[in-house]
Structure 1
Amino acid sequence: MTEHGMFSITTVAPKIRRVTFTNPPVNVVGAATVTQLLDVVDELSQDKEVQVVIFDSGTPGYFFNHADLAEVPELLALNAADGTPTWVDLVTRLTSAPFISIAAIRGRTRGGGDEITLAFDLRYASREKAVFSQPEVSIGIVPGGGGSDRLARLLGRDRALEAILTSEDYDAERAEKYGWVTRAVPDAELDDLVNDVAARIASFDKASVLGAKAQINRSTLPPVADLRASWAEFAESVTWPGFQARVPRLLKAIDEIGLDEIEQNLGYYSGVINQQA
């Protein structure tokens, strides 16, 4: 096993690796998360033996959660050497990586964490434990760097609008029905399914696997220019009065109700917070 801060890499089989994200208590995504995950993707991309990578969580109840609101300035300040926002660099490297990425999703997957999850190639969800949301609109901002761009292609225009404009929590059954995830299965079956799919793909010729991925990417992925535009719009939206007014209300609710209760039911509480306006 190798460690990259919040991430550990385990060898499952000669061609299969498992990457576990652990950032308790609720797996929020901050600036260090982004840079460490980029390091993980780079390391695995350079290993010619790696063909399939499984991504899971070491924090019960949470997969990749929303961005850490306390670190928004740091996230916005991250840029690659060519000026590309580091977040955009991360999600585009994931989709173009020379391996197949498979998400084994147990727990809350929201906002920025959902945008990372949408960049994985395959997404398998626990029917009992997985929850999905893009909550940005409920706190006065817009998604940035992938949420709206990818969901519109996966769900269709109207369902993407419903998901983003309502900021509701979607259970795994509805996420599967809408196309948000590849498949939702009973929690007891999730590990076997993910392991079986990973082993089957790893048994095939790598050139044909990556060639097929490249063809599908060409037909389905949003242009990088769109991801850049969404990120710029997100960056602008954090200056809007609506966001500035809602963040104190959200922080007050966390103090009064408790972080875990808010995070477990963010879709509900984001509606309550807006009713207080």
Structure 2
Amino acid sequence: MKQFTVDDQTSKVRRVTFASPPFNLIGADTVAELLDIVDRLSGEEQVSVVIFDSATPGYFFNHVDSDQIPAIADMAGSGPLPGFVELGMRLAAAPFVSIASIRGRTRGGGAEYTAAFDLRYASREQAIFCQPEVGFGLVPGAGGTERLTHLLGRDRALEVLLTGQDYDADRAAQYGWVTRAIPDAELDDFVNAVARRIASFDKQAITAVKTQVNRSTLPPEENLLASFVESARATTGPGVEARRRAVGKLIAQIGMDDLERNLGHHLESLAEQP
């Protein structure tokens, strides 16, 4: 079943909409489909801008489905990077400008991919950001540590990665996690206007500017691979299974919907589960 739809907004602008209700969790099929879409749009010479959004209320790009971790880890890429990691690199290096129109929760692997977009505009009322991996005894593996350190600086990246807290759009904008926080009622018009304006310019100039910026901002391939190796190693750590059992007990107490909606709040309580 397809999780993404691609719509032509203009001859130069496309919109890619993610819908995998109820929580927009990321699985191996999600990664594979999005890789195909990025490749296809990269091959369309007329496409200058691609907007990414979500049709699932309350969620943008959410974290990886824990049941899918082995399948995702085994996904091969076109080169030395695993497919899960290569997706973020392809998003960042694509020959079009990618714009995230963010409504809802953006966490874990989804937040790592979101950080790879060129521009990120977040609903002030609805967007929430979180890197919760440490709360599960895990480590981000799709480039989040590298990209967040560049965007936020070392100390704020460490705060985000080590506390696993939820951050609202205003704080995310203050930290540099997103380009701007926009009132929800204005988000669609704002993103569409930015997309149309960029697309009105010469694509050769657009891609040349992006190439120059990428040269000084994209993490080296060897760093991304090293992060993935650390992430894979963490999945067999001594605390992971205990945390998995704690998550099951917590879900039995509060329900899956409450856990997903308030994940940052509930992370600390995982250590308190008997």
Instruction: For 1:9-88, list aligned pairs within 5 A.
Output: 9-88=6-85
Query: What does 1:251-270 align with in structure 2 at a 5 Å threshold?
Result: 251-270=248-267
Among 186, 191, 195, which residue is 2:188 paired with? 191
SS at match of 1:13: coil
Q: Residues 206-247 of structure 1, C-alpha deviation per residue, up to 9 Å, x if partnerless?
A: 000000001111111111111111111101100001111101
Q: Alignment partner of 1:20: what SS?
A: strand
Structure 1 residues 160-209: Cα deviation after superposition (integer angstroms, max 9, x where no partner): 00111000000111000000000001100100110000000000000000
Q: How does 1:105-116 map to 2 (within 5 A)?
A: 105-116=102-113
Report the equivalent of 1:119: 116
Question: C-alpha separation between the residues in 2 aligned to 1:149 and 1:208?
Answer: 27
1:222 and 1:200 mapped to 2: Cα distance?
Answer: 28
Q: Deviations over 1:130-167 (max 9, x none)?
A: 00000000111111121111101110010000111000
The amino acid of 1:125's aligned partner reads A
CA RMSD of aligned residues (A): 1.0
2:251 and 2:120 map into 1 onto residues whose CA distance is: 30
Match of 1:237 in 2: 234
TM superposition shift of 1:81 = 4.5
Cα contact 2:111–2:131 (8 A) shared by 1: yes
Structure 2 unpaired stretches of 5+: none
Identical pairs, percent: 57
TM-score (norm 2): 0.98
Out of 137, 140, 150, the position equivalent to 1:140 is: 137
Distance in 2 (CA, whole Å) between partners of 1:88 and 1:10 is: 26
Q: How far apart are 1:260 and its partner, in Å? A: 1.1
Q: Give the TM-score taking structure 1 as reference length.
A: 0.97
Task: Extract unaligned runs of 5+ from structure 1.
Answer: none
- Structure 1 42/261 Cα, relative in aligned 2: closer, same or farther at 3 Å? same
What SS class does the counterpart of residue 8 from structure 2 fall into? Answer: strand
The size of the alignment, in residue pairs, is 274
Letter in 1 for 2:225: R
Amino acid aligned to 1:45: S
